[in-house]
Amino acid sequence: MTDQAPMPDGVEEVVGAGETAAPTAPAAAPLQGDILDEADGPQHPGDATEAAGEQPSDSADLHPDTVLAGERLADLQRLQAEYVNYKRRVDRDRAVVQERAAQSVIEALLPVLDDIHAAREHGDLVDGPFSAIADKLESTLGKFGLERYGAAGEQFDPNLHEALMHTAWPQDGSVQPTDSTTVVQVLQPGYRAGEQILRAARVAVADPE
């Protein structure tokens, strides 16, 4: 029987006939990064984000109370604008209604004013209590802007006059002939309140020569 050579270090003796045990491999070193000590780095994703220098976003959703307050403020501003427009419209309409009401009253009194004017033209209201009453009535209506117009010699204006007849130029020279259609006689005076024509003056006109 031959002597066996000494076994190298790390090799075990024969297990069975002709077989030797495989050398024991050294234990594998732990992979880097598999286990991190608390001192080596963060253990949570949020900690990693903060460690990387990232901060929570400033564009986070507003608080529901803040959103509701903004909606209520917008509603209030809209209602205030609607109220201002409504008040302006009411004030404008009120002035128009008052003006129309005054004009309606004056138009109803036009026949009375025609009688007063005709009486003065005939000298029936020179003096006396009826003359004073007529003066007060015309003065009161004048406060509402009432004005009587129409006189012989005026240039005919279809916006102010209503021509009821065409006639010759007066022979007495009260109205001199002109180169335009001219009022030679006022059959019924006209009335206006401000810029509003209540009744056009009814006149007789003469054509230009």
Q: DSSP for the chain, please give it.
A: -PPPPPPPTT-PPEEETTEEPPPPPPPPPPPTTTS--TTTS-SSHHHHHHHTT----S-PPPPHHHHHHHHHHHHHHHHHHHHHHHHHHHHHHHHHHHHHHHHHHHHHHHHHHHHHHHHHHTTTTSSSHHHHHHHHHHHHHHTTTEEEE--TTPBP-TTTEEEEEE-PPPTTSSS---SS-EEEEEEE-EEEETTEEEEPEEEEEE---
Supply the pLDDT for residue 195.
Answer: 85
Contact call for residues 155 and 180 (beta carbons, < 8 A): yes
Fold of 146-209: Nucleotide Exchange Factor Grpe; Chain A, domain 2 (2.30.22)
Close Cβ partners of 142 (under 8 Å, ≥ 6 residues apart):
none
pLDDT tens by residue, the chain, 209 residues: 444 455 545 444 444 444 444 444 444 444 444 444 444 444 444 444 444 444 444 444 667 778 888 888 888 989 999 999 988 888 888 888 888 888 888 999 999 999 999 998 888 888 888 889 999 999 999 988 899 999 999 999 999 999 999 999 988 888 888 889 999 999 999 999 888 899 999 999 999 87
pLDDT for the residue 6:
52
pLDDT at position 206: 93
Question: 107 is written with which tokens?
Answer: 């138009």
Surface-to-core class of residue 61, CB atoms within 10 Å of its CB (0-12 exposed, 13-18 middle, 19+ buried):
exposed
Neighbours of 152 (CB within 10 A): 14
Domain ranges of the chain: 63-144, 146-209
- The answer to whether 160 and 149 are in contact (CB under 8 A) is yes
Radius of gyration of the chain (CA): 57
Our measurement of the distance from residue 162's CA atom to the centroid of its chain's CA atoms, rounded to an integer in Å, reads 43
